[in-house]
Amino acid sequence: MRLRAMLAALVLAGGGVLLLLPAPERAEALNCTGAADHSTLGDATSPDLALPQLEVAKAIVGVAKGMAVTKRGTVIALQVARQESTLDAAAVAGRATGAFQQIAPGPAGAYAGYDRRNTSMAAKGFFTVLLARVPGYDSDPRSNADIGQVVQASGAGADKYAPWQSLAEALADVLYDGTAKMTCQTGASGPLAVSANGVDVELPPSAGIAGMIKAPTAEAARVLAAALSWLGTPYAWGGGTAAGPSRGIRDGGVADAHGDFAKVGFDCSGLVLHAYAQVGVSLPRTSRAQYADGGAIVPWAGALPGDLLFYGSVVHHVALFLGVVNGVPYMVEAPQSGDVVKVSQVRTGGDFRPEAVRPIPGGGPDRHA
């Protein structure tokens, strides 16, 4: 289903809250801004969410209400999930998996027997442990962060959960009891303002080249704007989700030597996955899988802005084709450990694959050949 409405409606009926949002498999990106009582929050805690994050929050709240967990318990869960995974159901760091980064089997086997990437099942596991370890949580004098730490037993400690309480409360005001409203509209993806006007994308100064990219479709333009909005973000092996940059993971080699596991950023496929998620297109996590299952394969000579470019006879790198500027083909990429998201000339030598993958079909003349 394709939904072009700029605003998502909030419907209150019988005490319930229903956010009418675009279908997640193919929808415009949504930045959701919450309640007036929380409007003074800073950028770090304001409820400014991409669609995949909001879907995770909705699933957590739905399970809480089904298990008769109070609003406070729901807030605790939301702030824990925001810290642990940035509300990313697919997050994996070693054996820790899902929105709550659960490691099976967990306390009394609470995290075993289900796919921890399923937010509803993971939330049920979280609330099961909450009810077992802190049965009087609703009136417990300890802070939300301290109670969250009792459930998670995180090595990072309770202090990591505390900054997300205001965000979690704003979400619960909307999703749990409907005491506040939330508006959702299309918006920018990253910290840089990158203009996408129809099919035109203006290159930001940090691109290192001046000009306008003419994308084949408005969707492809928004994909490119999303990727360009993260220029200068550190490369982090294993980093990047639909919601944005995330902490890298260990690889036992080059990435570890550069400290990627301690950085928040993108690797090559994480950047591509994130950019396409902003128009509701879900891509696989790795470059190899993006090549195999990312869309139609076209010859390099027919590549269009927004197409995916690959390197390696066994694929090891992916980049987003930007198009041709002043006769030179460019791409935006997260190149390698020690580097940052940047605009580069397309490297057509070496192990470059002379083809491209097109996740969004159709649109416009061949602007490359």
Catalytic residues: 268, 317, 333
> What SS3 state is found at 356?
strand
Cα–Cα distance for residue pair 89/54, rounded to 1 Å: 11
CA 300 to CA 152: how far, in whole Å? 48
How many residues does this entry show for the chain? 369
Whole-number Å distance between alpha carbons of 369 and 292: 24
Q: How far apart are CA 178 and CA 182, in angstroms?
A: 10
User: Contact at 8 Å (CB) between 111 and 127?
Assistant: no
Query: DSSP labels for 285-329?
Result: SSHHHHHHHSSEEEEGGG--TT-EEEETTTT-EEEEEEEEETTEE
CB atoms within 10 A of CB 137: 21
Q: How many Cα atoms are found within 13 Å in the side-chain-facing hemisphere of 278?
A: 28
User: d(Cα 154, Cα 275) in Å, to the nearest integer?
Assistant: 31
Nearest partner of 157 among 95, 216, 84, judged by Cα: 84
Nearest CA among 246, 211, 233, 226 for reference residue 28? 226
Q: How far apart are the first and last CA of the chain?
A: 33
With residues binned 3-state (H G I as helix, E B as strand, rest as coil), the percentages for the chain, rounded to 5, are 35, 20, 45
CA-derived radius of gyration, the chain: 21
- The phi and psi torsions of 225 (rounded to 5 degrees) equal -65, -40
